[in-house]
Amino acid sequence: MSHPSLAGLRLGINIDHVATVRQARGTAYPDPVEAGLLAASAGADSLTIHLREDRRHIQDHDVTRLLARSPVPVNLEMAVTDEMVDIACRVRPRFVCLVPEKREEVTTEGGLDVAAHQDAVAAACLTLRAAGIVTALFIDADPAQLAACLAVGVPHIEIHTGRYADTEGDDRHAELVRIRDFAREAAAAGLEVHAGHGLHLHNVGAIARIPEVVELNIGHSIVARSMFVGLPMAIAEMRRAMNEARFAQASPVA
Ligand code: PXP
């Protein structure tokens, strides 16, 4: 069954952690490509995979197999390195999202510092665009990063929601306000705005309610939940939480 997006909010599913389970034992299963196909049939608007430099979860053959078989667009997350840009230009996903990467981190810890590495990011984006790939930059909700993204000339940004997800109380509220204002500014400047990282059923609503955000990319919580209810149900639950929040926004009392 497919779950149509409501009010333009798309759901991209990150399937890296299916590969994490596989790599833990060096087996051929569970196959992230099979998970991706299941996610697509359960209504994912796109599939995200992060080919990390250390290949800790997704492997090169996963990228080529997913691209050969996915019925929905594939978004390749990658670091700004010559190796990754070469791979992307060879396999040509529909989308690339450039992210920072540190070998010692457990997961992506923050946005890409586009302002500090503007020339390298601009060069990578130019090469990717020449290969017909639509590129997003994963950034913190920081005006200096927005200015750098506009200078680089990318069409899409993804706002890092990790800090929002990791904080509570007043700190979380302040981060939410920051993200909301930033999304408005970025959209007004002509960028398509996505968001992701650390989102789960109980914190997705406030982000889904931001009208300028048109895509959420969610992985860990959905793959974790799928262990108990299966991937189609985990996706349906997330879609419902997103849509309920989006719908509440249209209500006069919200
Ligand atoms: N977006 C980006 C750019 C990411 O790096 C990640 C994590 O790989 C996600 C979204 C998804 O984050 P999570 O797995 O916490 O849902």
Residue nearest to atom 6 of ligand 1 (CA): 197
Give the model confidence (pLDDT) of 31-79 as tens digits.
999 999 999 999 999 999 999 999 999 999 999 999 999 999 999 999 9
Give the model confidence (pLDDT) of 142-162 as tens digits.
999 999 999 999 999 999 999
208: alpha, beta or left? (left if phi > 0; alpha if psi -120 to 50): alpha
Average pLDDT, the chain: 94
77 labelled catalytic? yes
pLDDT for residue 102: 75
124 touches ligand 1 (CB under 6 Å): no
Question: How crowded is residue 33: how many other Cβ atoms within 10 Å of its Cβ?
Answer: 24
Better-predicted residue by pLDDT, 129 or 102: 129
Which tokens in the block code for residue 73? 């667009």
Query: What is the enclosing helix (H) or strand (E) of 63?
Result: helix 60-69
Q: How far is the CA of 47 from the centre of ligand 1 (A)?
A: 12
Lowest mean pLDDT among 104-113, 153-162, 178-187, 230-239: 104-113
50 touches ligand 1 (CB under 6 Å): yes
Catalytic residue among 77, 101, 158, 215: 77
Give the model confidence (pLDDT) of 167-181 as tens digits.
999 999 999 999 999
Reported confidence tier of residue 4, pLDDT bands at 50, 70, 90: very low
In ligand 1, the atom with minimum distance to the C-alpha of 165 is 15
Percentage, residues of the chain above pLDDT 90: 90
Mean pLDDT of 81-95: 98
Q: How far is the CA of 253 from the centre of ligand 1 (A)?
A: 32
Query: Is 191 within 8 Å of 158 (Cβ atoms)?
Result: no
Lowest mean pLDDT among 32-41, 121-130, 185-194, 245-254: 245-254
Reported confidence tier of residue 247, pLDDT bands at 50, 70, 90: confident
Cis before residue 93, ω within 30 degrees of 0? Answer: no
Mean pLDDT of 3-24: 84
Mean pLDDT of 14-32: 98
Among residues 253, 217, 231, the alpha carbon closest in space to that of 76 is found at 217
Among residues 39, 33, 48, the alpha carbon closest in space to that of 2 is found at 39
Mean pLDDT of 19-25: 98
In ligand 1, the atom with minimum distance to the C-alpha of 138 is 3
Q: Is the pLDDT of residue 141 over 80?
A: yes
Q: Is the pLDDT of residue 253 over 90?
A: no
Percentage, residues of the chain above pLDDT 70: 93
Mean pLDDT of 201-223: 97
